[in-house]
Structure 1
Amino acid sequence: MTLTSRTFEVLAAFTPEHRTRRLAELAATSGLPLTTTHRIVADLVRCGALERAPDGSLHVGLRLWEIGSLAPRGNALRDVALPFLEDLYVATRENVQLAVREGLESVFVERLTGREAVTVMTRVGTRFPLTSTGVGRALLAHAPADVQEAALARPVRRWTPFTEVDPARLRAGLAEVRRTGVAVSDREVTRDAVSVAAPVRGPGGDVVAAVSLVVRHGTVSPPALGPAVRAAALGISRALGAPPSAVRKSLWREEPAPADAAQDRDPPAPSPRPGGPP
């Protein structure tokens, strides 16, 4: 293991659940000897990548955040997308999310939410498997074939009783995403939330991100949310410089049909009032 990989093992020990760590915890979590961890931590503190609190505990430093903010698929994408995300949020007052794909996971790079919006598990920087979330499915549906097969070959975590875990049904769902231009995750991560997502295309025409709207289950039917989410995704695609031919692929799509009875879903709620869902 190189020094760089060992350094990343130490940094990876910090998670949303463990934002503060002590030296011994870093060594245990990274699997590195205590002396090696001490040496790496000392270097990271000197350069500002880690900071030490008065009680001796360690947390991620501002310098590391400054460097991370330069990632083109993070803040650069966020800067272009934010006006469209804000428009979608103002129209709905619901959770609006933007994510990119990294390997077999989606990484959330932006999230807007209101006080009365349904609680979600995501935050900026959160990673989720591609198979269960709305943005994940929008990204996976347009990923290379080998990525799709690798994702479907892995065991799918059953977050709720509604989580789809059957590879054949998931594969059929991805085909539906490509047909309609919209991905739906209905109570598949939390029991009270529905996510509707659409892909975002970049300058080369490839899907580079996905935008989603997450609402409380039973307030609005997923098909009613599709046009607004797709419009936001198309606006971001154009702002990123997606070629007109790629944008046209997403312009005229049929709305996704309500989930079938075989999945034992509740019937869709009435369409939202003008101005967006409550």
Structure 2
Amino acid sequence: MAGRSNEPGRSVVSKALAVLAAFENDRRALSQAEIVELTGLPQSTVHRLLAELVEWGALGRDAHGRYQVGMRLWELGQNAGRQLREIARPFVLDLYSLTRETAQIAVRDGTDALYIDRAYSSKRVPRASRVGGRLPLHATAVGKVLLAFEEPWVREAYLQQDLAAVTPHTHVAPQRLAEELAAVREQGWASTAEEVRLGACSIAVPVPHRERRIGAALGLVMASNQAAGMTRHLPTLRGVAQQIEAATAHVPLSTIRRAVDPRSGTRP
């Protein structure tokens, strides 16, 4: 990216990343004015960066002059988590075929559960995320598993943050969540009921790694009226998780997950 930053403390790269981040939680095309508002950058800076990002292919511009994520950036993003996704894909599909419920696998990325792969059920269940999408750890079954089996300091740092109530049912009281995570570690699985989407519930188990840490979490999502019977799927979930564990034993944990230290925002 050409040019030099004229704003103290902000490099050209940080500004370009801010422009790209404007599209992180919004799938629609954005106007230049909207991007200026979302980033807080000067209009002239945004105008210049948009032109360069479009030229490189990170963003595309439609006939109405609005911007959206470009194909080149999408293609680049497919490399993130590819090794785990390619290995786990047959097992995720197997989990779906055995349960007929939406099956998914996620890893921790900072304070979020990042969804690496998913096989959708044909049943009508409210969807909260997608492959490559992310949700807060405390609001999802896979996220609670990832958080429960993390190192104690990670849990403690997470519980010190302001926890967002995604729905009225999301558990955001730190003490209650800490007790729930302790129960997850003891029983070996986590569940949620309408904590991230009304009408949906979920259950998940850990996918251990040979380095004695959790590499991922494997889960199912189904309609809320099935919440009472979710645990019947635990033997299948655990069996498939063991298969994924064996298949990923040769993969270094550092390539499976991109853990971020929530205390500082830096990668350990």
TM range (shorter): 0.7 to 0.9
In the other structure, the counterpart of 2:41 is: 32
In the other structure, the counterpart of 1:150 is: 157
Aligned pair in 2 of structure 1 residues 32, 161: CA closer, same or farther (>3 Å)?
Answer: closer
Match of 2:127 among 113, 120, 125: 120
1:6 and 2:15 correspond: yes
Amino acid in the other structure paired with 1:8:
L
Instruction: Count how many residue pairs are aligned between Structure 1 and Structure 2.
Output: 241
Runs (4+) of structure 1 exceeding 4 A deviation are none
Q: Deviations over 1:84-120 (max 9, x none)?
A: 1001111122111111111111111222112214222
In the other structure, the counterpart of 2:75 is: 66
In the other structure, the counterpart of 1:235 is: 243
1:171 and 2:178 correspond: yes
Aligned pair in 2 of structure 1 residues 21, 159: CA closer, same or farther (>3 Å)?
Answer: closer
- The alpha-carbon deviation at position 34 of structure 1 amounts to 0.9
TM-score, L = length of structure 2: 0.83
Question: Where does the alignment leave 5 or more consecutive residues of structure 2 unmatched?
Answer: 1-9, 252-268
Percent identical among aligned pairs is 39
SS of the equivalent of 1:54 reads: coil
1:129 and 2:136 correspond: yes
SS of the equivalent of 2:225 reads: coil
Quick check: 110-119 or 137-146, which moved more? 110-119
TM-score, L = length of structure 1: 0.80
SS of the equivalent of 2:139 reads: coil
In the other structure, the counterpart of 1:90 is: 97
- The alpha-carbon deviation at position 242 of structure 1 amounts to 6.6
SS of the equivalent of 2:107 reads: strand
CA contact (8 A) 2:105 2:118 kept: yes
Match of 1:202 among 176, 198, 209: 209
Q: What pairs with 1:259-270 in structure 2 (closer than 5 Å)?
A: none
Counterpart CA distance in 1 for 2:122 and 2:32 is 37
SS of the equivalent of 1:79 reads: helix
Structure with bigger RCO (C-alpha 8 Å, 6+ apart): 2
Output the aligned Cα RMSD: 1.9
Question: Where does the alignment leave 5 or more consecutive residues of structure 1 unmatched?
Answer: 244-278
1:217 and 2:193 correspond: no
Counterpart CA distance in 1 for 2:47 and 2:167 is 41
Aligned pair in 2 of structure 1 residues 60, 191: CA closer, same or farther (>3 Å)?
Answer: closer
Match of 1:47 among 36, 45, 56: 56
- The alpha-carbon deviation at position 16 of structure 1 amounts to 4.7
CA contact (8 A) 2:145 2:217 kept: yes
1:190 and 2:197 correspond: yes
Aligned pair in 2 of structure 1 residues 39, 161: CA closer, same or farther (>3 Å)?
Answer: closer
CA contact (8 A) 2:106 2:115 kept: yes
SS of the equivalent of 1:210 reads: strand
Counterpart CA distance in 1 for 2:124 and 2:247 is 28
- The alpha-carbon deviation at position 18 of structure 1 amounts to 3.9
SS of the equivalent of 1:131 reads: helix
- The alpha-carbon deviation at position 47 of structure 1 amounts to 1.1
Counterpart CA distance in 2 for 1:186 and 1:171 is 17
Quick check: 166-175 or 29-38, which moved more? 166-175
